[in-house]
Structure 1
Amino acid sequence: MAMVEEAQFWQAIGILIKNYHALNKKIFEVVITRVEKLEDGRPSESTEDELSKALKEDPNNRTCTSIKIGFKLLPKKLLNNILGTGTVDFVERRYDCQFASDDIEDFSVHLFEGQFQLKSKQNPNWLEFVLKPKLFSWSQSKQDESKVKSLGLVNVEKYNDLYKELKQKHSQRLLEYWKTAQESTDPLKFIYEDLAIAAYLIVLWSQTQSEPKAFADLGCGNGLLVHVLNAEGYKGYGYDIRKRKLWSLYPADTQQSLIEKPVEPNSFRLDFPDVDWLIGNHSDELSPWLPVLAGRLNIKYFLLPCCPYELSGAKFHRRNTKISAYQDFFLYVSQVSQECGFEVLHDRLKIPSTKRLALLGIKRNNTKTIKDLEYFVHEELAKYKSGESEIKLREKEEIVRNCTQVDKSIIDALVIKIFQQLLDSHEDKWSGRLPMREIAQSLTKEELSGIKTECGGIKTLLRNKHEVFEFCGGDIIGIRTPKPTAPAIQSRLTTKKRSCFFKLHHPLGCPLKDDECSFIH
């Protein structure tokens, strides 16, 4: 391991103090409750910002000799928080961490001859293989001061307590709804994500004294967020162009709050005059329109943008290729919000999604008029030759584009052709491997055109036939070797419904016995 300079050591300790949860998956967040500096032999109360500043100071010019830190660990599941104490010793170049719980181990970190020296009474493996590599990584990282802090607009402790309460109260019933509706989406992701968003909004509303008279969730999808907020006493409605299977399973009051209606930006009108908050929860094509609609109505909004789209409904045109497409789109929607007169707030949610940056418009700048807003929208649409009457968002009938709509005989012929091509590559007796590009080049234009419009084409076809093909890393495709299915798992799966592909088409047949294979022999 490379040598660590003193400034790098204290950078790593600064990150460790606030990010212990990165080392322990049972912990949700760290909350610093007290900071006491010892300077010129005199103790004094200090702040979290002063702590960060002291850790970044030049070691040769530092006057502070030590800092004591009180903090709370907020567990993800346990009811009670765990208290802890950290001691920064600048003279000894050492950090000691102690916890008021036997479930979490005390430890110390010392910089000695350019290396991290770690000590604890137990669990040396955790020190060596978890804490030490993390500290070294943190010591070498470049700190991005502009990065949006997670849950920066809400009280993290209140949020965590409420999130645990909502999970306890709602998750089991929502899982039952999912099973009854036979939804194909992952229930754990959607349920925990929307419970987290509900907890965030409730805490935010209480802290900013901006609780809604009523809210409207535009592009509400399965209506889960509307249902949870309604159940927690917040009046609100959900709009979506298509009714979902889950809607009919919610209680009657939630069902009445879910409205099957397209949200066409220039003609859409709310059915309820008391709505004073708009919500866009991964609202796809509607995302850039949320600030515009909120500005027109002079109400507040919360937006968690997802897939990037223009105001026209077309795919987002990149403005800045030096950053990620998601960051670029996020900055664009922030600009739209500012042009609509909002004082834009940013936050980073803790949800099971890579798209977790949120925008909030709670206050508007009175210097921006509706005329200014409409002029900006008109100019933005004109850039991409979209007249205001030509805005095209989502169709009511969703087109399925996953190769399932292609004629079965075409799919079967392509699968056999690709399978034979892999066999002929003769990597071994069982399975050949080829680059995807070589497979695609072997197919005729007619064969490719039959699946190209199916959103993914050849790659989607190969993924759908995962019982036959496997992705071997990079661009390489191979033939999957069948594995026996455990009886306990087999009983939960739909098995013995189709003939075994390998039994029919592989020259060596299927290597599995009849009772081991999920398909008919």
Structure 2
Amino acid sequence: MAAEHIDDKQFWLAITILIKNYHALNKKIFEVIITEVQKQQHGQLYDSDEDELEQQLQANASERTCEGFKIYFKMLTKKLETNILANGTLNFGKQSYECHFVGEESFDDFSVHLNAGQFRVESKSNSRFAEFVLRPRLCNWSQSKREEGAQKSLRLVDVEKYNDLYKQLKLKHSESLLKLWETAKESTDPLKFIYEDLAIAAYLITLWTSTQTEPNAFADLGCGNGLLVHVLNAEGHKGYGYDVRKRKLWSLYSEQTSCNLVERTVEPNSFRFEFEGIDWIIGNHSDELSPWLPVLAARLKTNFFLLPCCPFELSGAKFQRRNTSISAYQDFVLYARQISDRCGFETQQDRLKIPSTKRIALIGLKGSAKSTANLEDFVQNELQKYQTGDTNAAIKLREKTETVRNCTQVEKSILDSLVLKIFHMLLDNTERTNDTSWMAGRQLKMREIVQSLTKEELSGIKSECGGIKTLLRNKHEVFKFCGNDLIGIRRPEGIPAIRSKSHTIKKRSCFFKLHHPQGCPLEESDCSFIH
């Protein structure tokens, strides 16, 4: 297949993206910062800036007013102690771009040329990088559309200071936090939570420094495992965490943190701090509390930092879409931002670099807050739109005891009745012959099984996580999932020669011995269940 022809405009579009996104090609680089720009006219270099560079790159060839540019970079590294200096040379006439790394042998210089409508890429010593990484990426970038007003990550903070602090926090805390995770026997992924909260801590500290709003004390509402509170406390920032349920990790933190984690339901209409000096509220993926963060910040006269996550209304109900022309997440972020604006904040928005798809942050500073005279009217109007019942009642967003929803809490007689009905449904219409082979029944789609059950039969497990599917998975000795949403009867297998610890032997009666018309196909000595 012939390579697509690249014109001048597409070539410089790809180079524009390359200049700003070299870190997308080299995973050792966190971010690229342009430190200086010079334009070349009549063989001489003159001071310029990024705006002029952008304008010239976007212009048609006949409209350009200079011969090229010299660009100086600082490349922030993810793990290396020092950052990397580099420079790039743009030549519009030769349709070329060259990048040179200063005194750094582990990074290869490279060049890109437009030759007969195709990218020609060369690397100083790594031809595989040039041919199999750089060239395909440039081809993709050349076909992309310019994103007008695309949001830049970490635009509200000094990126270099943020990156340096993030590296320090990883070196200082990651190993000890991993050990805490192992001790607590947490089921969640430690790498995701640890590196995500270290990045959020680095962002907050850098933000507080750059905006001169370092807190007297902060409160993390819906703090979950308390990790963010722990890291910020360890870095000298006094603060507290509130959550409806205590986590196993809480008691393992230092006393400095553990005594500042409060097991308490945050009810937005009645919540007040029991500690002095709190002037920042944090909502770190705080689920139902997310839309309430700006409201609480306005009522309590604090700043706020919010990472909206699962979409909820102020009532605690699932979020009702307002704008279907954008994604559900974007719609919810817009809703949270509109609440913040109504609360009197001039809301700032940023995008974090964290291992999460939900990484848009909203920041409200009380110094920029306008009048909140109509705040309570707005809140009540929202509750009346999306909540039934008494809008003045306290809104309890989550129960203290987490409900178990895996079909294990349903009355046994209801489960047994459903299991038998589905079992006989799968055996029905199986042709009986003189053949003595054991009947394994037929396969049915999950939809067919559900449609065959009455509303009364379904009501007993309708609130359970997974419903009928969870019930069938729990009875894995009877049913099997056959792919393509088909369910069948599992033929009993003998006791394995090598048993795992989870393999139970002779603890329960054999289902097939009791309920299959031909009984169990296994001898009693071979069956895992009691005959």
Query: What is the TM-score with the length of structure 2 in the denominator?
Result: 0.83
Higher mean C-alpha deviation, range 333-342 or range 66-75: 66-75
Q: Which residue, out of 142, 145, 153, partners 1:142? A: 145
Checking the alignment, whether the CA contact within 8 Å between 2:301 and 2:366 is kept in structure 1 is no
Q: Which residue of 1 is the match for residue 433 of structure 2?
A: none
- CA offset at residue 193 of structure 1? 0.6
- CA offset at residue 364 of structure 1? 4.7
Secondary structure in 2 matching 1:259 = strand
Change (3 A) 1:499 1:118: farther
Q: Which residue, out of 379, 394, 397, partners 1:393? A: 397
Secondary structure in 1 matching 2:325 = coil
Higher mean C-alpha deviation, range 282-291 or range 399-408: 399-408
Q: Superposed, which structure 2 residues align to 1:34-433 within 5 Å?
A: 34-100=36-102, 101-365=104-368, 367-369=370-372, 371-386=373-388, 387-406=391-410
Change (3 A) 1:28 1:325: same
RMSD over aligned Cα atoms: 3.8
Q: Matches of 2:113 and 2:358 in 1, distance apart?
A: 37
**Counterpart residue identity of residue 328, structure 1:** D
**Counterpart residue identity of residue 300, structure 1:** N
- CA offset at residue 333 of structure 1? 0.5
Higher mean C-alpha deviation, range 310-319 or range 407-416: 407-416
- CA offset at residue 438 of structure 1? 5.1
Change (3 A) 1:436 1:9: farther
Deviations 1:107-157 (A, max 9, x none): 211122222221124333333332222222222222332332111111111
Q: Matches of 2:225 and 2:352 in 1, distance apart?
A: 20
Change (3 A) 1:357 1:156: same
Instruction: Please say which structure displays the higher CA radius of gyration.
Output: 2
Deviations 1:19-39 (A, max 9, x none): 111112222111111211113
Deviations 1:422-472 (A, max 9, x none): 9x99xxxx9x99865456556665664444311333455677799996796
Checking the alignment, whether the CA contact within 8 Å between 2:38 and 2:48 is kept in structure 1 is yes
Secondary structure in 2 matching 1:330 = helix
- CA offset at residue 224 of structure 1? 0.6
The answer to whether residue 466 in structure 2 is matched with residue 456 in structure 1 is yes
Checking the alignment, whether the CA contact within 8 Å between 1:148 and 1:346 is kept in structure 2 is no
The answer to whether residue 13 in structure 2 is matched with residue 11 in structure 1 is yes
Change (3 A) 1:51 1:190: same
Q: Matches of 2:357 and 2:7 in 1, distance apart?
A: 33
Q: Matches of 1:419 and 1:106 in 2, distance apart?
A: 71
Change (3 A) 1:272 1:407: same
Change (3 A) 1:412 1:63: farther
Checking the alignment, whether the CA contact within 8 Å between 1:285 and 1:309 is kept in structure 2 is yes
Checking the alignment, whether the CA contact within 8 Å between 2:345 and 2:370 is kept in structure 1 is no
Q: Matches of 2:132 and 2:445 in 1, distance apart?
A: 37
Checking the alignment, whether the CA contact within 8 Å between 1:280 and 1:287 is kept in structure 2 is yes
- CA offset at residue 15 of structure 1? 1.0
Gaps of 5+ in 1: 482-492, 510-518
Q: Matches of 1:434 and 1:35 in 2, distance apart?
A: 68
Checking the alignment, whether the CA contact within 8 Å between 2:89 and 2:98 is kept in structure 1 is yes
Kindly tell me the number of residue pairs found equivalent between the two proteins. 498
Change (3 A) 1:393 1:495: same
Checking the alignment, whether the CA contact within 8 Å between 1:287 and 1:309 is kept in structure 2 is yes
Q: Matches of 1:434 and 1:47 in 2, distance apart?
A: 67
Deviations 1:231-277 (A, max 9, x none): 00001111111111111111112111111111111111011230111
Gaps of 5+ in 2: 431-439, 491-498, 513-520, 522-527
**Counterpart residue identity of residue 304, structure 1:** L
**Counterpart residue identity of residue 174, structure 1:** L
Checking the alignment, whether the CA contact within 8 Å between 1:339 and 1:368 is kept in structure 2 is no
Q: Matches of 1:395 and 1:287 in 2, distance apart?
A: 17
Change (3 A) 1:66 1:394: same
Higher mean C-alpha deviation, range 432-441 or range 36-45: 432-441
**Counterpart residue identity of residue 177, structure 1:** L
Checking the alignment, whether the CA contact within 8 Å between 1:95 and 1:109 is kept in structure 2 is yes
**Counterpart residue identity of residue 401, structure 2:** E
Change (3 A) 1:141 1:156: same
- CA offset at residue 190 of structure 1? 0.7
Q: Which residue of 2 is the match for residue 490 of structure 1?
A: none
Q: Which residue of 1 is the match for residue 525 of structure 2?
A: none
Secondary structure in 2 matching 1:307 = coil
Change (3 A) 1:366 1:356: closer
- CA offset at residue 103 of structure 1? 1.8
Secondary structure in 2 matching 1:234 = coil
Secondary structure in 1 matching 2:402 = coil
Q: Which residue of 2 is the match for residue 24 of structure 1?
A: 26
Checking the alignment, whether the CA contact within 8 Å between 2:317 and 2:386 is kept in structure 1 is no
Q: Matches of 1:44 and 1:51 in 2, distance apart?
A: 12
Deviations 1:452-501 (A, max 9, x none): 311333455677799996796xx65689x9xxxxxxxxxxx97554469x
Higher mean C-alpha deviation, range 105-114 or range 406-415: 406-415
Higher mean C-alpha deviation, range 74-83 or range 333-342: 74-83
Secondary structure in 2 matching 1:323 = coil
**Counterpart residue identity of residue 308, structure 1:** P
Query: What is the TM-score with the length of structure 1 in the denominator?
Result: 0.85
**Counterpart residue identity of residue 19, structure 2:** I
Q: Matches of 1:64 and 1:448 in 2, distance apart?
A: 74
Checking the alignment, whether the CA contact within 8 Å between 1:381 and 1:388 is kept in structure 2 is no
- CA offset at residue 159 of structure 1? 1.0
Change (3 A) 1:86 1:405: farther
Checking the alignment, whether the CA contact within 8 Å between 1:433 and 1:476 is kept in structure 2 is no
Q: Matches of 2:20 and 2:200 in 1, distance apart?
A: 23
Q: Matches of 2:418 and 2:129 in 1, distance apart?
A: 51
**Percent of aligned pairs sharing the same letter:** 62
Checking the alignment, whether the CA contact within 8 Å between 1:242 and 1:261 is kept in structure 2 is yes
- CA offset at residue 287 of structure 1? 0.5
